[in-house]
Structure formats: structure tokens, C-alpha cells
Structure 1
Amino acid sequence: MAILRSLIRALRPPRRTTAERLAAFPTAGLAVEKDVTIRWNDYQVPFIDAESDHDLFFALGMVHAHLRGPQIALFIHFFQGRLAEVFGPVAKRLDHALRILDYGAAVPEIERTLPDETRHCCEAFLGGINSYNERMTELPPEFGVLGLKPERHTMATLLAGSRLASTDFTWITYMSLLPRRARPGFTRLWNRTIEAGESPTPGAHAEGTPGMLEDLLVGAGRAGSNSFAVAPQRSATGAALLANDPHLGLSLPSLWLLGGLRSPSFHVAGFMIPGLPAIMLGRNPDLAWGGTNMRASSSDLYDVGDLPAEQIVTSETTIKARGWRSSRHRIRRTPFGPIINDAKALNVHGRPLALRWVGHEPSDELTAFLKAARARTPDEFRAAFAPYAVSGQNMVFADRAGNIGKIMAVRAPLRAPFPKDDPVLNAADPATHWRGFQCATELPWVVNPPAGVLASANDRPLGTDVPIGFTFGADDRIRRLYGLLRAHDKISIDNLRAIQTDTNAPDAAKVAGELAQQIEALNLPVRPDKFLRRLSRWNGDYAADAFGAAAFEALLFHLVPPLYGGKRQADLPDLLGQWSYLTTFLLRDLMAIKPAKRNKILRRAVAKAERDAARYRQWGDMHRLRIGHTLARLPLIGRAFVVEDLPVGGSRQTPMKMAHGLVNRRHAATFGQMARHISDLGDPDANWFVILGGQDAWLGSANYADQIGLWLRRQYIHMPLRRETVAAEFPHVMTLKASA
């Protein structure tokens, strides 16, 4: 009965104004040394002003608990492999896989070696979270639905949470490929994976059949993104400029939380991950930074079938499930990492395979970001990332002195080149073993390129012989970014906003034009002239009102499966629907087959695509932004948690990414650009941010999804750093009082 009442409350939450939500924030009798001022703007974005670093991080912990308490609780369940306690027995396999992958494996050693300064910041932050949870007079609506309750946050859960964003992107490749490893043609598929250089991403699955584990793992990592910097000689303001837009899962609450911080050691504004005490992307008075996932391969797979029995340690773990009985599951570990065959969710069969991951060894990402937030020069910024390991990031920066640059924030294993024919290495062969690592201060970096502009879009890093990875983003997005940057002699803030919302994919127009030529050569009995005009005249723009994009996508949907021997997309490896694969191989493979078969495939694809495209005049009629709470995944009642279902532009590799797989009907983008940031280093107040969603995770809050309109209108929230500007623009003021 209690669950039913909670469900009704969650489905119809009472409306809470910003003032009402802030009134629920406890302000008295707190473990702060002196009074702390928190100013809030109308979007419930905080700016914390404290007289000590301890008080700053204590207040920050309270802010995180206030705005994102349920999300933090779910994160803890995720990285501890306890999702079945929330979602029931359906999540048991997922929990077993997460416990085998073991995000917290290195936590004891990380905690033991944590620098004192970082430890003190973390302890204060934990004190703030726990203090807020102890003083809550009303639990968030979804707590009852999901069976959650506030749990005491510890250093162990915080440090394990710092690995939440450390997922290795190549895991998704392995999950997609390993079930096919025993089938004919696997060697060709693996070599083409390396050549195409891209992995499946959330939103690439056929609608209605999402890969839950894959989506969760990539959604937990900083999987995509664009970042670009402009030197003063190319800037319309005369100062260096920095822009960044992360690409992650499109759901509520967002994986980003926006805020500003000021104390004796910190003066910074930017995006944080809920539950972690660090600005990941942002700006201090001297330096601004953004990042894109490097797609570094921080893992290797090893065949450990011939290891001596004493090198395999077996244990059991108990998984509890909501509304169901507990069960015990086997976990086996080797010197090369856990054996992943035991996780049924990973669908790995045959000889035992171990996963060696850099993240199973101690590193210190929190200290790296805390130091980066205080960096004043390129050298200080680079040095900050010396203890950083996973997930690999291309960190782009710009500073007040006019420098721009990019570093490789990663701990890269020193190893042999990635193997051909098979991703699995032989554990018995010493040549396959790692021989140490290189970190950010040992890997190449770029400072002040002659062109005066610098961009990153998950593209392949250059300038190093260390094997970094094999799943980099398609080149067309980085080429498009550089083309847009070089189109202006002097680049303005408005130009940066336009680049962040650009929906053009030139390579798509090229593929569409060549397919149109092939179709015209068929001399079909009934010529699809209207369809051909849409295809051949399309310029590659995936704007919501674009006329040709739906025709092109419908054609791909009906062309790709028969070309590769499947009746539908689900019959094919996920890789074959990825954009890099299509641009690398589609036309080549189409022209390689016999003309009679090629013409037959094209005729049938055109006939079906023409019917589909006729139903969708504009791209936005087919391509939707359907954004809602995580509870929108639930059967039957999920639709009640959808906030918006709107036409949206963008595609797989447009600068404004809105990813999808092979589609021929109305579908939702579930992975893409979900936040934006721009800073002008000539003015400490010239910083603008926006989240595709809202700050407050409380269902019914006025700030639950109030930034969606800003995002759609290409508007931003102003985040100044000067104290007087903050006072003028953040009108809701509260004071946290120390206990007597």
C-alpha cells in the first residue's frame, strides 16, 4: 500500500516553487566553522561563498544532497551492483556483471594514499551530504517508488563513485563483438572494427530493444563531447575563448550539476557530477577548460584458460532483490583481472576471459580535478592530471594570458599494438603483458597551435607511439568543427553558440548523393522522382525542419540489412549501423557485389524507403527529443514521466549530436548533447552554461526541467565569478549557521 501511495505521489507530484524548495534546506546547527553564504538564482543554481575550504565543501555536500539526493543514492546502488534492490530480480544479472567489473576494486588503496588536502575536502563534503540527509523532513517522491532511503555516504562510496565516470569505452565494443567470436567471419568483423574505429553508443540500438548494460555503462562515462578553444588573435573579443558541450544520455535528472564556489583556495564555476566534490568542466579567474572522451582503450582481454588453478581466486557474492529472494553468484579473479564469462549479462562463452582494466589499479581523479580547478597556467593545468588514469580525456583549455591547448589526461598502458584478427590476448605470452604506463605529463600535448584554433571531438590523438585506443569518433565531426572555426576571421561568442548548435553532416550529404546516382542508373519502371529529389538535393543538414534527412535515413534503414545478409537491424552486429562503419564501408561494399544483386537490393530498399519517407516531411517529424525521468523506462507507467516529446535536429556525428541507429520511423534520440559551456577569458564574469533538463531532481520542482526551453532556444545561464555580480544576479540568499 505504501508503494502504491508513493507511486501516485510520484505520478502526480505537488508543484514546488523555487522558494518552497529552498525553504526545505536546513540552515541551522551545522558543522561549519563560520557562517556560509549560499546565493541561488531563479534556476536553483547555487554560488557558495565560504571563509574556509572545509566550510565550502561541507556546504557543497549539502547542496548535492538537496538537489540530487535520489540520483546519488541510485549511483551508489549502481557502482556497488545493488540495482536489484531497487528494480527487482530483473536486475540481478546486471548486478552480477557490475560486481565482476568491480568499480571499487582499487578503493582501499586509493583511500590509503589520498593526499591530506583531498581527504579533508572529501570528508567535509561527506559531512555535508550526511548532515542534509539526517535533517530531511520529507523524502523525495521517487524514494518510495524505488524503495530507496538515504544511506550514510562514506569515503569508500565516494571514491567508488569517482570511478562512475571512468568506464572504458572499449567495454561496449567487447560486449558487442564477443558473442560473435565463435562465428564465421569474426576476424573480418574485428579488423573492420579497428579500421572504422567506432563503438556502439546509447541511442544506436533499435528502438524498444535498448542494451541496458551498454547504455548504463556508456551513460556513466563521459562518452562523447565537443570542445574547442580560440586564441586571442582569432577572437572577436581580443581574449582567448573556450567552448565545451558534453554528450551523454538524455534523461532526467541530468548527469551534470551546475554551481559556483568561492573559498580561500577555490574560486570556480562549472559542471559537477552529483555526489562528487569537484568541478569537472568549468572556469576559474585565470583558466577555463572542457573535455572530450579520448576513447582510450584502458582495458585488454586475456585468455586465462591455461592459468594454474592457484592463480584463480573464487568467491561468492550475495545479491538481494526487491520483492524476491536473495541469490549467490560466483566471482573469479586472476592476476589479469576478473573472469567476465561468469556474468550472463555480458554473454561471453567459451574459454575463460579476464578483463585487465587500468581502473582496477589505484589512481586519483578527484585530486586531479581539484588541482585543475586552481590551475593558473598551462603547465599547472597539465601537472594537475599527473595522478589521473580513467577514463581517458582530451582536456582543452584556454587561459587569461591568451594560451590555448590540449592535454591527454589518461594513464596509458605500455603494450604491443592492438592485435589483428582477434581482440583476445594470450595470458601465457609475456609479449602481451603491460610494461608500465605513461601519464598526462609524459604524453604529448598541444599549446598555441599556429592556426589560432583548436578542437577535439573524440578524434584519434596524434603525436604518440603509445597505443591509445581503436574506437575513436568519426572524422567528419572534427572536420566540421574546424571548418566552422576557420570560416571566421574573428570568432565571436555568437559564432561559438552557432557552432555548438550546428546540425550539418557533410559526409552524409556525400553518401546520399552517391546513392542517388546509383538509384538513377537503375532506370526503375516507376521512377521515384520526388524521393530522388529529396535525396540528391539534400545538403547534409539534420535541422529539425530539414527536408531530405528522413529520406536518407529511411534508405539506409532498408539498404544496410540486406547488404550485410540480415532481414532487419537486430540480425546484424551493432557495429554495422555505426556512422564510421557506414562512411568507411557502405559504398565500397555496395559496389563490390554483382550488379544484378546490387540492383535488386537497391530497388527493394528504394521502394520501402519511399513509402516511409512520405510519412515524414521533415526530419523532426521522425527524430524526436523525448526526455523524461529515469522512471520513464518503467513499463506501463513510464510515459507519465516523459516531460517533453519534441522535434529535434542533429544526428550521429553532427556537432550538435543527437544519436540514433538505423531508423525509418518516429524515434527518440537517447544520447547526445546534453549541456553547453562557453567562457571568454577576458572577463571573469563572461561564462555561460546550460543543461538539457534542470538543476533540481525533485519531481514537481519548478527547476526540474526548466532549462530545456533555454537549450532549445540556444540560450544560456550566466555564471559570473565577481562577487558583486553574483550578488546582483543570484537573489535568493541563505546563511548556513554553525552549531552553538
Structure 2
Amino acid sequence: MFPGTTTLDRRIAALPKDGLALDAPVTIRWNDNLIPWIEASTDRDMFFSLGLVHGHLRGAQIALLRLVARGRLSEVAGPFAADVDHALRILDFGRAAPEIERRFPPETREAVDAFLAGLNHSVRHGPRPPEAGLLGLSREPYTVGDLLAIGRLAGTDITWLNWFSLLAERGQPGFAELWQRTMRAGSGTTDPGSRQAALLHDVLGGTGRAGSNSVAVAARRSATGGALLANDPHLSMNLPNLWLVAGMRSPSYHAVGFMVPGLPFLAVGRSPDVAWGGTNLRAASSDLFDVSRLPPGDFRTERVTIRQRLWFSARREVRTTPLGPVISDAALVPRQPGPLALRWIGHEPTDEISALLRGSRAHTVAEFRDAFRNFGVSAQNMLVADRAGSIAQFYAATLPDRRGFPPGDPVLDGSDPAATAPWGRLRDAGELPFIRNPPEGVLASANDRPGQEAGVVGYFFSDGDRVNRLRELLAEHPRLSPADLMRIQSDTRSPKAATLAATLLARLDALPGGAPQPAFLAPLRGWDGDYAAAARAPVVFEFLLAKLVPQLLPEQRRANGGEPRGAETGWNFLTTFTIADLDALPPERRDAVLRDAVTTAARDAAPFAAWGDVHQLRAANWLVNLPVIGSRFVVGTWPAGGSRETPMKTSHGLVSGPHQTSFGSMARHVSDMADPDANWFTLFGGQDGWPGSPAYADQLDLWRAGRPVRVPLRPEAVATAFPRVTTLAPGR
């Protein structure tokens, strides 16, 4: 591993402690996983110390997040990333930052300024991260605009990735049918195409809060007598993790939870009064507009400079219109007949920092919801539990007041007042549905489609497999414990996979002479959809799907050697159309397709005894992609359970052989409101972003075994569980 190893005590001792802009001493306690617990006598001192700790633990990661958010990847990656940077400059994650900052309430201003001061103190005076020399990172101070741009990057609209894939097909024969099928299925996936497009996909998909599961249990359904809440976010499974865990106490704040490195709030967590978490609502927070009919005066052009490491700077144009930036000018966006502008809520001055700061100070579920009236991106389906035993669900979002989506094309006419009118009135959390204490006593969310009462929210949702499995597991016991919720987070069953497998078996059994390859198909008989790493049935099922689906394409595309397009490989498409498309074939063709798929799948799957032989999970720093030295950043590779839409999500596409999953359930949180100290967190990886630190990947084994780390709230419990102490003193 590069660089050499160090110790926890050395990492803690390296925290810069001289010349600190504090009003009074601050105590930072550390546990054996290098999770910090900060105790301060003023709010300002607490946020300063949080910034200091963020910079110390995740300095290189925050620097890279800023480079992405500002479209400056070429400064470390060279000319290869220039097209990516151009696309990021057009998206302009910092566009709304000046107005957001201007509108900050006083308490948010104080928190952000103090956090920024602590972060910059770490940048100036802390040890340089090991990656700094390798990547050419400088000790560049951060601004409020940088933090807001990082926050907007984390709020990337999930619809963009689907649009960029679909736009490649727009104007081609069959696009109208593809779009209609995408709308019917409710989801699409992205086929990045070029390496640069794949990098843009990874940047936007890996940093945005694209997935997650969340469940809440009311006190009357709890075995402990207190309401329960569990969350497991779904993001890129790389090191360092895109979350860090922290505890904090000051006059206004007392909470523990997950933080985004470089941002001053708890996104998922628990206070003595409230526990909260969210899943991506998959809302369409954007619209695409054809702006070819706008007058020339509506276009503003700016020339930007993209500095490139070890090469000359590049100059590119960025055009904007009243309907947003002209995204089709980016080389990584498929060419279109005319210019397309992107209208995004993230370019509006919504205030997520203030919402989450207020939410962490709320005392009831109602107060928590009220804190989110100006929350914009990424739109979240929030679940919350309080100390009184109540649970609730609401949508933290700001959305155009739409009446529908275009049935034949995702692109709207920018010159049509009816198309742009929904952006004249925006709906927020105060107008969107609010569910409190449902009769079942439980709530579950997994990026599933909202009910009709939410109105027109989006196109692309999970197909319901995960949320239905969560509800099934919650219904198994009249009273649920925190241990039950932890087991749910590790569940690897997909009910729809079991149903689809049984239906395919029925079609195979109906063939003249019965199903071919009976020994190969035997594991599917009675399969319950469990993608356990040691199971054989998922291998049979996935190889069969991979051989069957391409043969269900229209004849013209098959004749031209076509493969399933990005959206057509998504789980929503497979569960919605596989059987319908198979049954639509002429009987002789259908029989031949089934026989061929089974024969070739049996041949190709023969070397693999279990799902974990095919489905692998690699833990590696993102620097693994560097030439020559990249392999030094691999921590390990293991057989993995789970699948696309299992509660323990480990995503993959069509399976034709061994592969590595890199997106899924990468963090876990469970809280019991009956006990202030009953809070558990686990990261895929560890707290410390410093390669070679004992806390860099120490939670991997805990994550794989389903054993979380307890992070209490009461001072006496914190003192016991967090024995290492750092005292910060005001500097001169």
C-alpha cells in the first residue's frame, strides 16, 4: 500500500493545533476507528473544529471534490479530462452560490464561516495528504462558493445520466418506442460510450446521492419501546468512503451521523430527539429545452480556460440562456439537431445547508419537516422518527409544478410558454405529501415511485423490488428490534428475480420435449431470489438472462449486430418487458430463442459454482485507475452477495462472466430512540482518507460481517467509547 503505514496515535497527533481561531478550549474524543466526537462551548468553535477534522481526515478527497465541482479535473488528470471539464463548466455547480450565500440566515453564515476557517487551517498547517504530490495538489484555500459547489455536485439530478444515454438514440429509428418503453418501465440506465463519457458518468453517478434504503418503525411496533430508524445509502463503493461519521455537541447542536466530506452538516443521523435519513426521490429536478427558436440575444457566451496538467491550457466556450446552460455544446453529450438547454433546480438559490442544520436541531417530526421548506437538491424521500415514538415521511424537494411529461420525447420546446410555465411556480416540502404514523406502524423507502398524491414527480424510479422486500421483512415480526433492522440491511433476496425465474422455467417446461439442460436449470426450481454469495441459482438465472435478452431485440437490430441499449439492460426493463417480449415472438422463434439461450448459458456458466465466483467486490482507492502504480491502491477483492435491487444492493448489468460491482450499499446507520446511546454506523472502508492509516479500511470486515460501530450521545458513554482525547486551545 502506498504510502507507508502509520498509527492511530500518530494520525491524531498530526492534527494541526497551533494558532487556532477558537474562543475557548474544545475537546475532540476519538474511538478506535478514528471517529471524532467534538465537544465545544460555542457553536462557532464546534464548526471550526469540524472543518479542521474534515480537512485532516479527508483533505485530498475534499480537494478532488472541489476540482470536480469546479470543472478542474484536467489540473490533475491532464488533457484526457478536458472534455469532462468542459461538460462540468457548462453544468456549473457553483452557479447559484453567490445568491445562496447572500441569503444565508445568520446562524448558517456563522456555521459555514467557522467550518471554512477550520478547513482552511488544516489546508495551510496540516500535513500534506499522500496523494498531493502524486496529483499535484496545492494548499489552495476554500471559499464559501467552493463548499456550495461541492454540495450541488452531491445533489446531481439522476435524470441527467439517463438522458445522456437516451440522447444518443434520439433521432434514430425506433427512438419513440424506446422512450415510451423507458417511460413505462420507469427507469433507464446509462451506457457511457467513450472513456471520457464513462468518466463523466462515474463522476456524476458516484458523487450524487443516487440510491438508498430507509425504514422507520413506530414505537408501538418496536421491541424496545422507542421508534427505530435505519438507513443505508447507495453510492460509489470506493475508498475513501463518500461519508464520514462524526459526533458533536455545542449549545445548539447535539447529534451523531454521516457527513459529506467538506460540508458542515449531518445528512443522515440522530439527535436526542430526532433520527433521520433519506433516499433519493429520483425526482426530475430538471428539464431539457430545445432553444433553437430563441432569439440570438438570449444566448450569452463566455470563454473559459481549462488548465491542463503537463500541457497547455485549453479554451472552451460556455453558452447560457434564460432556460439554462446549453448542455449540448459539451462534446460528451450526444450531438443533437439543435442546441439543448438544461433547466435545473440546482441553479436556483435553494438552501440545503440551512435545512439540514435546522433539521438536526428539531425536536419533533413536524419541526423536522418544517426545516426543509427551501431544500432543493438532491430531492430526498425523507424518513424521520422522534423521541415521542412517532415516525413520518415527506419529500424534501423543490420541483416545477408540472402536469405531465412529454410522451414522445424528453426534450421540450423552449419557445413554447406552456412548456416553460411550470418553472414559474415551484413546489417545496411544505406542499408535497406528509405521512405521519401510518396504521402499519412502519415506513419504507427505496427510490420507489411516489403515490399519486405527490403529483408529477419524475420518470425514473426503482421498480419496487427493494421496497417490497423491505416491507415484507418489516411484516415478519409484530415487534422489531435494532438487530432486525441490521439484518434487513444485509438481505440479499430479490422477489422479482424469483418470479421472473419461475416464469421463464414455465416457458421452458412448455417446450416440446420439456426444458433443455435440466441439470443446469435445477437450481432455479423453487429459488426464492436469494443472491447469496454461495448460491448457484443466481449464476444460472443471470447467465440465462444475458443470453436471452439480446435475442429479444427487434430483428433489424439483431441483424446489424446490435446489443441491448443502456436502458434495455436495467432491472426495470428486464422485469417489465422480458416475458412480454418473449411471448410476443412467433412460437417457433420463441422456442428456438429459449433453447439457444439455455444451451449457451449452460456452457458459459459451467466454470462458476456460486454467485460469488462471478460477482466480486473490490475495495480500492479511486487511484486504482492510475497506470503502473494503480494496483498498489487495491485493499482486497471478495465474493459478494446481493444484486441490482436487493436490499443489500451491489449493482451490476447483464452478466456474461466475472465482474466487479462498484455501486451499492456503502454505509449503514441504525438508531433506537429509546436509548440515546443506541446508534450504530458502518462505512465500506473507514474514517481516514490517509492510505496507510489503521482507520483507512478497518471497517471493511465489520461491514462485510454486518457488525456496526456504536456511536453514543450521552457524555459518559462517549467518554468510555472514545478514550483518546485531543484538546484544542485558542491560538494567539
Name the Cα RMSD after superposition: 1.7
Asked if residue 23 in structure 1 is aligned to residue 13 in structure 2, the reply is yes
Residues 186-211 of structure 1, C-alpha deviations (whole Å, 9 max, x = no match)? 1111111111111326xx87999982
Aligned to 1:431: 418
- The alignment's TM-score, normalised by the length of structure 1, stands at 0.96
Alignment partners' CA distance in 2, 1:325 and 1:133: 27
TM-superposed CA distance for 1:627, in Å, is: 1.6
1:290 to 277, 288, 297: 277
Alignment partners' CA distance in 2, 1:373 and 1:628: 33
1:537 to 507, 520, 526: 526
2:609 to 608, 617, 634: 617
Aligned to 1:6: none
Residues 43-90 of structure 1, C-alpha deviations (whole Å, 9 max, x = no match)? 000000000001000000000001000000001100100001111111
TM-superposed CA distance for 1:524, in Å, is: 6.6
1:577 to 569, 573, 590: 569
Alignment partners' CA distance in 1, 2:520 and 2:415: 57
Asked if residue 664 in structure 1 is aligned to residue 653 in structure 2, the reply is no
Aligned to 1:493: 482
Give the residue type in structure 1 aligned to 2:100: I
Where 2:34 maps in the other structure, the secondary structure is coil
Q: Which moved more, 1:27-36 or 1:396-405?
A: 27-36
Where 2:668 maps in the other structure, the secondary structure is strand
Aligned to 1:737: 729
TM-superposed CA distance for 1:465, in Å, is: 5.4
Asked if residue 119 in structure 1 is aligned to residue 119 in structure 2, the reply is no
Aligned to 2:535: 546
Gaps of 5+ in 1: 1-10
TM-superposed CA distance for 1:536, in Å, is: 2.6
Asked if residue 725 in structure 1 is aligned to residue 717 in structure 2, the reply is yes
Asked if residue 52 in structure 1 is aligned to residue 42 in structure 2, the reply is yes
Q: How does 1:294-309 map to 2 (within 5 A)?
A: 294-309=281-296
Asked if residue 101 in structure 1 is aligned to residue 95 in structure 2, the reply is no
2:151 to 162, 172, 185: 162
Residues 121-147 of structure 1, C-alpha deviations (whole Å, 9 max, x = no match)? 1110011011112112x4221111111
1:526/1:132 CA distance change after superposition, 3 Å? closer
1:306/1:95 CA distance change after superposition, 3 Å? same
Where 1:297 maps in the other structure, the secondary structure is coil
Question: Is the contact between residue 83 and residue 196 of structure 2 (CA under 8 Å) also seen in structure 1?
Answer: no
1:705/1:206 CA distance change after superposition, 3 Å? farther
Taking only the aligned residue pairs, the percentage that are identical comes to 51
Aligned to 1:700: 692
TM-superposed CA distance for 1:261, in Å, is: 0.5
Question: Is the contact between residue 405 and residue 447 of structure 1 (CA under 8 Å) also seen in structure 2?
Answer: yes
Residues 385-441 of structure 1, C-alpha deviations (whole Å, 9 max, x = no match)? 011011100110000001101110000111230010111111111111123111101
Aligned to 1:86: 76
Aligned to 2:336: 349
Question: Is the contact between residue 561 and residue 569 of structure 1 (CA under 8 Å) also seen in structure 2?
Answer: no
Where 1:90 maps in the other structure, the secondary structure is helix
1:347/1:206 CA distance change after superposition, 3 Å? closer
Question: Is the contact between residue 281 and residue 289 of structure 1 (CA under 8 Å) also seen in structure 2?
Answer: yes
Where 1:418 maps in the other structure, the secondary structure is coil
Aligned to 2:4: 14
Alignment partners' CA distance in 2, 1:367 and 1:608: 56
Question: Is the contact between residue 455 and residue 478 of structure 1 (CA under 8 Å) also seen in structure 2?
Answer: yes
Which structure 1 residue ranges, 4+ long, deviate > 6 Å from structure 2? 204-210, 567-570
Gaps of 5+ in 2: none
Alignment partners' CA distance in 2, 1:449 and 1:73: 44
Aligned to 1:478: 467
Where 2:183 maps in the other structure, the secondary structure is helix
TM-superposed CA distance for 1:605, in Å, is: 1.5
Where 1:735 maps in the other structure, the secondary structure is strand
Residues 315-347 of structure 1, C-alpha deviations (whole Å, 9 max, x = no match)? 111111111111111111111111111100112
Give the residue type in structure 2 aligned to 1:543: A
Aligned to 2:23: 33
Alignment partners' CA distance in 1, 2:169 and 2:235: 27
Question: Is the contact between residue 27 and residue 734 of structure 1 (CA under 8 Å) also seen in structure 2?
Answer: no
Question: Is the contact between residue 207 and residue 667 of structure 1 (CA under 8 Å) also seen in structure 2?
Answer: no
Question: Is the contact between residue 300 and residue 320 of structure 2 (CA under 8 Å) also seen in structure 1?
Answer: yes
Alignment partners' CA distance in 1, 2:583 and 2:636: 42
Residues 77-124 of structure 1, C-alpha deviations (whole Å, 9 max, x = no match)? 001000011111110000000010111111111111111110111110
1:372 to 351, 359, 364: 359
Alignment partners' CA distance in 1, 2:194 and 2:173: 28
TM-superposed CA distance for 1:373, in Å, is: 0.5
Asked if residue 192 in structure 1 is aligned to residue 181 in structure 2, the reply is yes
Aligned to 1:4: none
Asked if residue 234 in structure 1 is aligned to residue 221 in structure 2, the reply is yes
Give the residue type in structure 2 aligned to 1:629: N
Where 1:464 maps in the other structure, the secondary structure is helix
Give the residue type in structure 2 aligned to 1:108: P
Asked if residue 281 in structure 1 is aligned to residue 268 in structure 2, the reply is yes
Q: How does 1:209-224 map to 2 (within 5 A)?
A: 211-224=198-211
Where 1:488 maps in the other structure, the secondary structure is coil
- The alignment's TM-score, normalised by the length of structure 2, stands at 0.97
